[in-house]
Chains A and B, each alone.
Chain A
């Protein structure tokens, strides 16, 4: 058996550190005792209690709606910003523009929340809009910070898109607008999906910014969870946490499956392409024990080595 290297050992330890607390939370969500740390047998009663809690259900619905609308808008803004960042090298205010995209990535939540609240209060005082704080103000706040994340995800893909296809379409008479939707959007579709999902989870997750900009009418799920958790551990929240972890794991599994299939198809394609180009002779002397495995690794990691070196 292969010896476990130091880094692999740390990696496994780190994974345990990341997953054990969540695993224990899941197990204890089925605990029938009200005292959360004492085990008293299996039960699903906290899940049933969750279903009867109108406040939590209402907050889930509110959070899902805000997350859906804000991630959609964040992807629209993020695509525009990513296009500007990767395609327009010079315009007035470019430094300011890129600064306003990277700063929200690290800006502490309390600062963003307080500053947006003071803006909304000032605007309401100045010209009466927004008249009351609620879903709309939370939506604006979430769009603003998640658009920055969407921009980073989308621009990293946009940079790799082969621009000659876009230019060919324009040369053949397509308008920039049409070219964008027919050529560019399909090419960056995975990044658009990734940016949307990231924005969605960021919006669902936000507690601090929402707490600042929400009015009395709008309560999101993290706000309900926080006010309950502050008082201590509660079995109902364990059940809710388990459901959230399950939902995210399911979504991640689907993503993993799709990515893996795409990757396999890409490798297959690359291999057949290479074999056509290189025309590997059938009886070439092979110094390595497992040439197929080696070539596969080379294809996966270093694409620039397209032609295998001649064996001397």
Chain B
């Protein structure tokens, strides 16, 4: 399909579909409003005499009469008519209608305690009181005793060695020039705040952590992360950069975010500008870097940049250059470089530290002057030496294509990643398969023929995630239609067997910090929670409850939860909910 055909095809999409998408953000898609609309419609259907426009005075049916009538179940509503999160069943609708909405449940803490139990501790170290369901209006409070809070994920590496994390306790000297020096920094940093810039969470704007698993969307060339220093929290997502003061509050006591650069008249086009710096900022899951003009720089708190890596040659002897193919006497041998290795622009797609091996994995996208299709270089590399030399070890991936989720096993020194099953231009591919990649040789070995579930993570030699299973309806002993349901389960890599842990799950944003799984769960309509559990589903703890729909867990680490709800954004810091006036669009 060429561009003209594409525009012709898509240009014929129905105008109401186009408008629906444009108006989506501005509509209330909360569970309450959707339930309310369904309930209202059904109420009118059942009691038309009470909803006549012409006659408003009707005798209400007596309670006795109502009780004498058999109660009809609510009508079946197809999944197409209901938001996805209501697929749990009709009883959920009835329960939701009965709920009193609008109450906020705080996770309060006793003095000296912390809300979050550090990863690796068991429930013997903490206790959780039962959570009020919110049947009564008002605020219900849950207290939890816990061991002293762990610091941010960046400072508390995962303890599990075969979970999705680096798993090592000792941190090697960072590229920024020494861990202790960095942490002791007290001056103004390059984002305009004071003190050392610390990574809170990184990757996609969902549950993600400051560890070596790092997920980027393929089209997001710049980093997505949450940072903090002594003055601010910084939220970087796509091209939206904002900061929240740790101390300043509005007249009504709310925290608020503001654009990351508050310099009047700033054109945002130099390293003196926090927004410019943020636009080039990436992280390997622990340290910060800047990617600029096809070079990856390590960056210290005061903004000093040191060249860290430049793609110039790979393990197959391929050489790369920026510019158009040419023969430059000042660049010996440039005429011999294949045209496809000349690039007009290089983008950094994925970038992650591989534990403490002294190696990093990166995916670079090369744009070319004479082609509309970029090429990709997936490689493991070491930082450049004093001479500016570095060789990238190419990953030998089928189709040179890798998904945005991966995990590093520091004991085995294997990088686990999803690779598309097929690369047939006509048929596309049907799913991702798990490959284990030797970071020293680049050799990639398929681990299973079973498709990876979505939101997958690797722990204890198994792959967990939410798989899309078919639920077949049986009528009269015969299959009669079916539907696809989301089950949380476990994929045995050896046998390819998929075991369902939780059928028709209401877990979302599932991800793993160390040995624990963090996710959001909708216990009932309008009652979303953030939970933590073992990968096998045991020992589930409720970390945060919100009497509203949590639409996304944007950034999470121990002690820092930033969520998006149907009522706006909220910041939960060590158990305290910070009222927040948040703009998401500058």
Q: Do A and B come from one complex?
A: no
Interface positions of B (Cβ within 8 A of A): none
- A residues in contact (CB < 8 Å) with B: none
